[in-house]
Structure 1
């Protein structure tokens, strides 16, 4: 990596937690300058606009969070166990970024006014959902999951339950909702398994 590329990456890494905590509107370029110690020109040499930087900061934050949540999943045998592992990783992996989940934060932040960030969040959600759907489909094909199970419904239920529980836990200042979600989803996943594969 060249010196310029290293500087650009450092700006993204230091801006990501700020955007995640304060949102696009709440994060000023002055905040980024203070975090990086760079002059305005030093940042704008690498990013055309604040929106450009925010987009890269989201890509970076989500890639790190998604990787942490998936770590070790491929080594888990069986579709239902893979799905349960996903739930446990979500529930037990501490937040990487201050302010909570970048997907939820950016989705809420961009919903009414930032088409670029909204499109990035939609793509990230689509990728997460597709990964879960694929695991369910593999489980159906392998005879581990009942044929009548709708993969999309399982993926949507898992994501909505986990993200909603994370929001409640952050508001209440404890992990109770996340732990409740984990137990509920594990029961749901036991329910879609064919008895012999449990």
Structure 2
């Protein structure tokens, strides 16, 4: 008798397609990724892919979701072990700077923004949800810190969360253009000063 948690053959194939397609979409964008690219990446014929996904957009959405899950999981490792709002925020920043996306192509959110003209509404919607989830994680830490008295009462949690995300994602843009990691390190050092100044 098959264990309840075991995947069926169809589910295994579907997951294989997603995992192989994710780097292709992440590196080339929706419009820059052809069915031939996906066939080469997955080792399947067009019909084999469409047996599991009704359209290229459906696969792109699943691939983006997978890429984000992998990236977030890599960057929040051990976060639950960190206590205190400021140490937790510092941990988030450090992880973002030091841990690259495990999916080739870099940050999925940045890539979706770069390929925003692709017209894949499903991926855009997923990216919006992913951004909201990231903001929510930061807001939760900040609001807990304010409530506990660790952070100043006049700290604007929303503004701070937006500033952290903007600086980190912006540093990736600079790094990509300049071909160095300096902007990420500069962002980390600047954010450490900013976040340290939130203490009550």
Task: Give the shorter-chain TM-score range.
Answer: over 0.9
* Alignment gaps of 5+ in structure 1: none
Partner residue, 2:79: 73
Q: Flag structure 2 segments of 5+ consecutive residues without an equivalent.
A: 1-6
Which of the residues 6, 21, 31 maps onto 2:27? 21
Deviation of 1:97 after TM superposition, in Å, equals 2.0
Please state how far the C-alpha of 1:92 moved relative to its aligned partner. Answer: 0.8
How far did residue 190 of structure 1 move? Answer: 0.7
Aligned pairs for 1:59-70 within 5 A: 59-70=65-76
Structure 1 position 117, deviation (Å): 1.2
Alignment of 1:15-54 (within 5 A): 15-54=21-60
The alpha carbon displacement at 1:94 in A equals 2.6
Distance in 1 of aligned mates of 2:118 and 2:19: 26
Aligned to 1:96, the other structure's residue is in SS state coil
Residues 110 and 117 in structure 1, CA contact (< 8 A), matched pair in contact too:
no
What's 1:182 paired with?
A: 188
Please name the residue that 2:109 is paired with: 103
In the alignment, what sits opposite 1:123? 129
SS in 2 for 1:26: coil
* Structural mapping, 1:77-156, within 5 Å: 77-110=83-116, 113-156=119-162
Contact 1:111 1:118 in 2 (8 A): no
Question: C-alpha displacement at 1:42, in angstroms?
Answer: 0.5
Of 165, 172, 179, 1:166 maps to: 172
Give the match's secondary structure for 1:25. coil
Change (3 A) 1:111 1:130: farther
User: How far 1:110 sits from its partner (Å)?
Assistant: 3.0
Q: TM-score under structure 1 normalisation?
A: 0.95
CA contact (8 A) 2:31 2:118 kept: no
Aligned residues: 194
Root mean square deviation, CA, Å: 1.0
Which deviates the most, 53-62 or 97-106? 97-106
TM-score, scaled to structure 2: 0.94
Higher helix share: 1
Q: Deviations over 1:86-111 (max 9, x none)?
A: 00000111331222100110133235
